[in-house]
Amino acid sequence: MNIPTRFRDVLRRQYDERLMVAPWHNCLRAYPLPQWEELEMTLRAEGKTQPQMIKLLRFLVGGVVDCPLDKQGRVLLPPGLRAGCEVDKDVVVSGMITYFEIWDKAVWERENRPAEEDFQAFEQIMIQSGLM
């Protein structure tokens, strides 16, 4: 899969070219290695105090795959990782600040089309956060 230029540029400028790709619900989450390591440390620390975190740790850490970028800015996503999230040919890559998500286009369109009530909740969140 080709990583979009805007994500590739950030990876090359701020990190190295290694991505840790983990399954997550209906998509894949791709983390730069330092962000993944930080997440892993937080999960380990929380896992000691919350028994449910162990299940989450098994899922995320057990399912993560090291996917380095090649010279053309592509990553090889293993078939098992793609199949678990229905990621096929047409994908959407969505930036999420410290990681990005890789979605099958049809799943993205089905899952991420906000309804009117979503926008009301979004507005409330932004007001409470002091962003509006």
The tens digit of pLDDT for each residue in 59-93 reads: 888 899 999 999 898 999 999 899 888 898 899 99
CATH of the domain at 83: 3.40.1550.20
Q: Which residues of 42-71 are buried (b: 16+ CB within 10 A; e: fewer)?
A: ebeeebeeeeebeeeeeebbeebbebebee
Please state the pTM of the whole predicted model.
Answer: 0.85
- Helix intervals (H) in 19-99: 33-47, 52-63, 79-84
What confidence category does residue 33 fall into, taking pLDDT thresholds of 50, 70 and 90?
very high
Q: What pLDDT does residue 54 have?
A: 82
Number of domains in the chain: 1
Domain containing 82 equals 5-128
Mean pLDDT of 93-122: 89
Question: What mean pLDDT do residues 23-39 have?
Answer: 94
